[in-house]
Amino acid sequence: MRSVFSGSRDSPFLVVRVRRDTLVQDVLAQISSKRERDLRKPLKVAFVGEQGVDEGGVAKEFFQLFVRRVFDPSFGMFAHDDETRTFWFAPEADDLGLEDVEFELIGIVIGLAIYNEHILDFRFPMTIYRKLLGQTPSMRDLREVNPWRHQGFAKLLKARTAEEVDAFGLTFTATRIVFGDEVVVDLIENGRDVPVTIENRSAYVKAYVEWFFVDAIQYPFDAFKRGFHRLCGGPVIHFFRPEELEQLVCGCAHFDFNALEAATRYEDGYAKDDPTMRMFWRVVHAMTETQKRRLLFFATGSDRAPIDGLGALPFVIRRNGTEDHRLPTAHTCFNHLLLPEYKDEGTLRARLTQAIENAEGFGLQ
């Protein structure tokens, strides 16, 4: 066992040892210098000072903690847009002194998750996956990332007279907010002195889109892409569509709870035909789509299904006492739902709903 988990070059595993309070720093120190062939070994994670053996659950918790940390807006690497419910590269990244290697690490970890078949709970706009595939951004991408700006540009391009265009009061500049201050960027040489007219408005929109998706994020995105391609690069990636690439990272958003029921295992006194289990599945199948998402997140730590669907999810329901006042709980690292043996369907529905509605989530849609 010692040779297997030693992390040596001869080990068949990629072994990562992390501390919870310095998780990102520990991953950076251990992963960034690894060779590609070592990164492609099966991942084993150990939390320093803890005795858990990684049979999949520890690595899942590691990915959950890593994603929550680096995508927390206070960490300074990504900003969250409440309207689109997606993350984008934070405009303050340059000013915080973040290094390329930190964004490269995120690309590597996302590649590790794909390689080890772990679903990550965050959302990028689809344009990130298009850029990873080498596609050129367009107005369509702006609609996904910045809907109000897209709407304004659509009105600008549809304006019929020079007076209507002049009323926008635009010049060849862009603005971004950095630490609460507005920073003006020229889109062309001396752009702030060049007004947008009915003749050059298309050139202005094109210049803005290129700035927004290329120049404004060039340093963090290039590093992120470099890390991602360390594991997932090569000709084969271009066989994927952007939507398929997103599913590899974040799983599938379409659910088949009948498939989940068919694949579920039962432990600690429950069985498929147990009365409590029959009540449970009646309640689940009657839930709204939003409630099903919340249940899935509550029990597994992600509101997405594996790319092969919910039938491929190793889901387990365990009996957890008979007290009606107790709420269901879960071990999300192992996809285990701990469900008390409630006396009737109404109580089960009430307790389950209370649990999933009041559990704090990350990245719920």
CB atoms within 10 A of CB 298: 21
Q: Which of 232, 250, 252, 333 is catalytic?
A: 333
Q: Under DSSP, is residue 28 helix (H, G, I), strand (E, B) or coil?
A: helix
Under DSSP, the state recorded for 34 is: -
Q: Dihedral, CA atoms, 60, 63, 67, 69, nearest 10 degrees?
A: 100
Tell me how many helices (H) and strands (E) the chain has.
15, 10
Residues belonging to the chain: 365
Could you tell me which of 213, 194, 224 has the C-alpha nearest to residue 99? Answer: 224
Instruction: Kindly write down the DSSP assignment for every residue of 60-106, as one continuous string.
Output: HHHHHHHHHHHTSGGGSSEEEETTTTEEEE-TTTTTTT--HHHHHHH
Q: Catalytic residue at 333?
A: yes
Kind and range of the H or E element at 330?
strand 329-331
Residues 6 or more apart in contact with residue 137 via CB below 8 angstroms: 127, 130, 131, 209, 210, 212, 213, 214
CA dist., res. 215 & res. 187, Å (int)? 10
The catalytic residue positions are 333
